Chain A
Amino acid sequence: MKKLWKRCYLALILIFLYAPIATLMVLSFNSSKFMSKWTGFSLKWYRQLFESPLILSALKNTLLIAVLSALISTVIGTLACIGISRMKKVPRTVFMGINNIPMLNAEIVTGVSLMLVFIATGMTLGFQTILIGHITFNIPYVVLSVMPKLKQTQKSTYEAALDLGATPLYAFFKVVFPDLLPGILSGFLMAFTMSLDDFIITHFVKGAGINTLSTLIYSEVRKGVRPSLYALSTIMFLAVFLLLVLANLPKKNRGGNS
């Protein structure tokens, strides 16, 4: 009985989390432009999606910024973890404290503060400022996912490699890096996801003439968002869902899924 209640509760939360996603998927096949009426099945929004240069360029910007910001923040963050782990207690606490600022600060404050610094230094708002903004809020996530893995690695194995004649760089890549890899990968994935889903910071640092998917959607909220954007979101969501399911399948089933 108790188990049943638990399952019901879990199911209700999952419905709560996924109901809007299901709604958007259904509406992407709706032949009406309006969200509130179902007028029949249609694939026209999917067709229009590939004919809209505005959506395609926003998609390109979104993906490019997500990949680049995740890559750069992963490199900076991972290097930082190695450096920080060698520090004494006080500087280490200071560094980790700084790390918390972008995570705990309000996104709107991060957004306006970056906008002020870009304008004060005379940078043109555009692709590069969005990229810098995204790297800034992504680095802390990478640090937080790599740091615990680094704490688990044993210094003695690295030192043993050095004693056996490995150069520090070789020893790092052969001994330490494989242990860090899961943390680095999850940090990268987290950064990529956060970048993809960001609206607030992008809104303040983007300038005129460039859009990511989020800002394009926001600009269309008043007059009604084109259902092609639901269609695009549906495709992206399903693609990631399938990828993650495939990646998590037990090895023996993998062959049958081509």
Chain B
Amino acid sequence: MSKKALAGPYLVWMIGFTLIPLALVFYYGLTDASGAFTLENILAITSEERIGALWRSLKLSLFSTAACLLLAYPLAMILKGMSVSKNSFVVFVFILPMWMNFLLRTMAWQTLLDKNGVINSILGFFGLPGQNLINTQGAIVFGMVYNFLPFMVLPIYNALTKIGNDTIEAARDLGAGSLKTFTRIILPLSLPGIISGITMVFVPSLTTFVISDLLGGGMVLLIGNVIEQEFTFASNWNLGSGMSLVLMVFILISMAAFARYDKDGEGAAF
């Protein structure tokens, strides 16, 4: 028996529970209730409420991705500099929060961001005016950054630790300053990590419905909320699938970017 056959169960599983389900989303998205072909479910995105939700999702997820990148890059550089043994401290610190339920962790920010919450008490202590932090679009971006930051830190950190110290020393020996070493050596070599981090933050931010539910107080509608409602309340699978297909256009764009920089499947987060 060939060893290749060991991948058989995997192949069957992935076809049965990944590829066929996706094909089914296409089928439902492109047909109406009677099974006839239609583009109506896709064109439904142009209704004012839905297109608004899509723009809002795009805007908030771009903000959250940018914020994660800006926070994570220096952090990954610091972690690399600490020369801790790989896979112990760093992964430990960023995976451990997942052991407290993600919904509860996000809800806890309600308490912290609340009008009478901890953050406003601290502001008040310094004589600063209280801020209305909860139930805003800002609060949702904040929740996205909180939940998805580890997915940006880990791939960038992995990419940085792969850069050998001798490469950096060689650049130094050849006369490059700190800035030049960074822009010409470190940044280009860590690009695969950055791209995979961007994908891993952008996609869940774009498609979330939970964070907007928990921190937006039901007042901020994202495209994820639209799809979730079509499936759970309205039970209009055709429309929900159509909206999912619209969403998948953006997911495919980021997957294509990911695939370009991740030729041997090594750049992924873990």
Interface residues of A (CB under 8 A from B): 6, 9-10, 13-14, 16-21, 23-24, 27, 35-36, 76-77, 79-80, 82-84, 86-87, 95-110, 112-117, 120, 132-133, 135-136, 139, 141, 143-145, 147-148, 186, 190, 193-194, 196-197, 199-200, 204, 213-214, 217-218, 221, 225, 229-230, 233-234, 236-237, 240-241, 244, 248
Contact = CB atoms under 8 A, between A and B. Distances in A.
Given A240-B96, A240-B99, A106 B203 contact: yes
Given A107-B204, A144-B265, A199-B102, 9 more contacts: A6-B78, A10-B78, A17-B149, A20-B112, A95-B10, A109-B25, A109-B207, A117-B16, A217-B101
Shortest beta-carbon contacts, A-B, top 6: A83-B7, A80-B10, A20-B108, A113-B21, A106-B207, A83-B6
Interface string B199-235: 1100110111110011000000000100110011000
Most chain B CB within 10 A, of A112, A233, A244, is at A112
A21 B209 CA distance: 22
B22 A113 contact: yes
Interface of B: 2-11, 13-14, 16-22, 24-25, 28, 71, 74-75, 78-79, 81, 87-88, 92-112, 114, 116-118, 146, 149, 199-200, 203-204, 206-210, 213-214, 224, 227-228, 231-232, 237, 240-241, 244, 247-248, 251, 254-255, 258-259, 264-266, 268, 270
A248 B107 contact: no
A6 B96 contact: no
Contacts of B209: 108, 200
Given A108-B244, A217-B101, A76 B204 contact: no
Contacts of B11: 80, 95
B117 to A, nearest CB: 7
Contacts of A186: 87, 270
A132 B103 contact: no
Contact of B109 (A18, A20, A139): A20
B96 A95 contact: no
A213 B101 contact: yes
Contacts of A16: 146, 149
Contacts of B228: 108
B14 to A, nearest CB: 5
Contact of A136 (B18, B104, B109, B204): B18
A228 B123 CA distance: 31
B227 A217 contact: no
A83 B24 contact: no
Nearest to A241: B96
B269 to A, nearest CB: 8
Nearest to B92: A244
B270 A193 contact: no
A21 B3 contact: no
